[in-house]
Structure 1
């Protein structure tokens, strides 16, 4: 086994074809390249185990509710409370009982590439998804908290299947469904985490399109948040129809 080409060893290790006999043999292989590959493989195995443990922890609420007879559990979350421009977007997601996708987490903890990958898988495997969007003008009318709640309620209405229980991130909603509000739910419930990813990717794509309409503000990179470049653009060009006029930095820029 010591003479097995390193390229072949790499193929076996990282195509999930490694068995105990192979690992035992590689442990005895003194080639530096083999030792590096084995160390890399061990780190990957550890990461996969950590993701699996996290995934199991994040299904605790769903498993408990299913043991009580609930079948269609919707996770609800929103994104976009903090930006100076653009809408607040909410998502409602019902996952199947056998959903398995380690790595799903609070969207804020994931990079863009990972969010996009998980978004596509969630879109393919979810039983139902609903989206709610509240634009800047209405945010100014009713305030950002009420707009966030309204977006969540809209997402529930838009979902393609009636849920029988709601798991909601942080806020309490008045709905005809039994529900539970979970503080930091997007890091504790797999359904809420999936909703946070769907809402984040949906909103980011909207902001990238708006960047083409208002290119001076850098919406494709800042997503409407108050970066230094965004604030400079506000001072130079003023506010657009998608800016939240009730937010202090936008108010000040107009003076």
Structure 2
């Protein structure tokens, strides 16, 4: 089977999953965090090189204060529970986004996980945290303009150099969105230019190894021509 190198997932449906069971939205987020472990381990086993998970968007700050507060605590709960297993499985943790806008405790937990797993050579588990694709592109252009204005480089940016300025430099091969919605929601707009898109009705808290495997089977059947003709 043709395994994609870089897979991105919009982890949607935590709140709806909880509501259907008469549970608070935070219960859905907690269950969703457990599924991060499940899917990361399966992606690592399958040989995927990078898994990018949309954990917290720039728009999520608009949610109720108690929900945002819980989401900020989730990295600590997740890594305290699973960091040893990530080490055992040789998984490396990275992040994409503006981490400095989170509480210091959240920043510290994430940076510790990154430092501890830095030398691992298996799956790269990239958490998109306080991430928005338009914001990413805007910051990239500001950085480039600053370099031009200060004489660090010429005004000659080529498309293939754009990745140097982005949070995520890789092109995405496969983008999956759970819970039935069929939109991109400001996620990796540059990187998914030629990605295969799969939308599944399963909510993220119930998206399991078999579901990921099914998505990869569908990906394997796609004819990727990148604008050309075969």
**TM-score of the aligned structures, taking structure 2 as reference length:** 0.27
Higher helix share: 1
Computing the radius of gyration from Cα coordinates, the structure with the larger value is 1
Relative contact order, higher structure (CA 8 A, sep 6+): 2
**TM-score (normalizing by structure 1):** 0.25
